Amino acid sequence: MNETRQKNQEENAKPLTVLFICSGNTCRSPMAEVIAKDIHEKTLHAPKCRFLSAGLSVVAGDKAAEEASLAMADLGLRLGERPAQSVTEEMLQEADLVLTMSNAQRTLLLTRFPGYTAKTFVLNRYVGAENTDIEDPYGQPLEVYRHTAVQLRESLERLMDRLAAM
């Protein structure tokens, strides 16, 4: 009986909301969102999560970079056609964890929205990865996007382990 009750509580629990932030929301953060969803679906020990992404300097009407879509397709994933979106106060309020792709983005985000320091981290620093920043592939050749996708996958696998330990 206790196992059934615990399982029902877990199923009804509010999902942990993780918000990924990059500059334009056309490369790294939407890639992170899609990769995180994929890893999460395959990870039995991770808590119930919802993954979102946004950007700090979004150009209205921008969509994911073509190279980002191609790099994701190499992983068997799809970025989709949603437009880039700017980070908002509401997104930050809703998020349980905010992960930026670089130190500079964390600093800029917290300058604009100073009340979120306690839940805002640089992704690679949060998961203990070797390189702190995930460099922006925007405007670079497809190989750079592929490298970014691999780097994100490695960091996000570590993230799932960290979330499971919470």
Among the options 27, 28, 38, 49, which is catalytic? 28
Q: Is 162 one of the catalytic residues? A: no
Q: Is 22 one of the catalytic residues? A: yes
Exposed e or buried b for every residue in 7-41, given b needs 16+ CB within 10 A? Answer: eeeeeeeeebebbbbbbbbbbbbbbbbbbbebbbe
Q: How far apart are CA 144 and CA 93, in angstroms?
A: 33
List Cα–Cα distances, 138 to 67, 100, 106, 160, 166, in angstroms: 9, 16, 19, 26, 33
Among the options 27, 38, 136, 153, which is catalytic? 136
DSSP summary character for residue 81: S
Among the options 22, 38, 106, 153, which is catalytic? 22
Q: Is 136 one of the catalytic residues? A: yes
Q: Catalytic residues, which ones?
A: 22, 28, 136
